[in-house]
Chain A
Amino acid sequence: MGAQLRVYRQKIRSAQTTKKITRAMELIAASRIQKALQRVSASAPYARAVTRAVSAVATYSNVGHVLTTEPEVVRRAAVVVFSSDRGLAGAFNANVLRASEELTTLLTEQGKEVVHYVVGRRGVSYFNFRKRTPERAWIGDTDTPSFATAQEIGEEIVARFVQSTDDGGVDEIHIVYNRFVSMLTQEPEVVRLLPLEVVEGVDEPESAEIFPLYEFEPEPAQVLDSLLPVYIESRIFNALLQSAASKQAATQKAMKSASDNADKLIRDYTRLANNARQAEITQQISEIVGGADALGSAK
């Protein structure tokens, strides 16, 4: 067998093995999307209830709250980036990191110091590689995020927000995550989480709805005190879930195109291998014919 032919066959085999792997990953991702989407919709009643309650308190009590007050001067802003733990998801991590870089540039131009919080290993390694160590990182819980992680993140950033700027606190908190639009589209979304603009949330309740005059227990201020962090946690949990679903969808898409590319490679190399084989045969025939001719004329 000719050397050329052997090389082509090797390449075909290698593409076939790769294709098996990418195909398997595609199927796994496809089944996980459904689970991730179910979790997103399962958490919707909670998000709705929390948003409603916050709106109700905000409407019927005139209490100002530290989480809703706009600071006069914003000196430091925090950006929470939701990436994934694993790659092989096409532009998923690149998109969210690019969006966060754009936001960082914008905030820096406005004269704000920017600190980063990162969720997901890919984001952490991105920041570490650029020698910009994130303030705090959460890894290992991006595939099926638990509510406990959301609570942890919420507590951390609320504590940081409440702290005074001189002690290292922040005046603004933004989150950047991939929003699940459809199986094919996941868009990086940038939201300012704190200070809160209550009622003008992402999924605000029907605006025509009039809230009844609630009796607050214990006091409106205290109710707001414990509700707002819950609201923040539910927004973060939603971002985590959306990001997880988007990651699976992005993986599925990336693996599908990888499998398609492998198919194309296999086809191309098969043609080349056939060509090489045919050329070899033709050469052998002409060698035999030439040899026979030479023997015949030598007599």
Chain B
Amino acid sequence: MALNVAVVSAERELWSGEATQVIARTTEGEIGILSGHEPVLAILAPGESRVTVADGTVVTARVEDGFLSVQGDTVTIVAGTAELV
């Protein structure tokens, strides 16, 4: 099963699609999310979040602030200011 991932900034939705893995930097450290992860709400630290798409390519987003929510297989990376690298 794939994850439904959306990277959202205040201005617009930066990226959305299916992915196999998400790695994000929270205030507690890096967190990796695969399908079937328990629901999480985590505060993000400034840094890079990496989304691995099904075909192996990696989408990297630089995030200033914000949070990450995982619910079911839906992952949302929400940031006030963020940009794709």
Contacts and interface: CB of A to CB of B under 8 A. Distances in A.
Interface of A: 39, 42-43, 45-46, 49-50, 52-53, 56-57, 147-148, 150-151, 211-218, 222-223, 226-227, 230, 233-234, 237
A222 B28 CA distance: 12
Interface residues of B, number: 27
Given A49-B76, A53-B67, A218-B28, A147 B41 contact: no
Given A42-B13, A46-B78, A53-B78, A215 B8 contact: no
Given A49-B78, A212-B71, A223 B11 contact: no
Contact of A56 (B9, B11, B41, B66): B41
A57 B41 contact: yes
9 contacts: A45-B12, A46-B9, A46-B13, A53-B69, A212-B72, A215-B39, A216-B40, A217-B27, A226-B67
A112 to B, nearest CB: 31
Given A43-B11, A226-B67, A234-B10, A215 B78 contact: no
A217 B65 CA distance: 15
B28 A217 contact: yes
A218 B41 contact: no
Given A45-B6, A57-B41, A213-B39, A223 B67 contact: yes
Contacts of A52: 69
Interface of B is mostly: strand
B66 to A, nearest CB: 7
Contact of A45 (B13, B31, B65, B72): B13
A46 B10 contact: yes
A220 to B, nearest CB: 9
Top 5 nearest A-B pairs (CB, nearest first) are A217-B42, A42-B12, A212-B39, A147-B10, A49-B78
Given A217-B43, A218-B28, A230 B72 contact: no
A215 B70 CA distance: 9
A233 B78 CA distance: 13
A45 B6 CA distance: 9
B80 interface: yes
A147 B80 contact: yes
A50 B9 CA distance: 11
A217 B41 contact: yes
Which among B31, B38, B80 has the greatest number of chain A C-beta atoms within 10 A? B80
B8 A217 contact: no
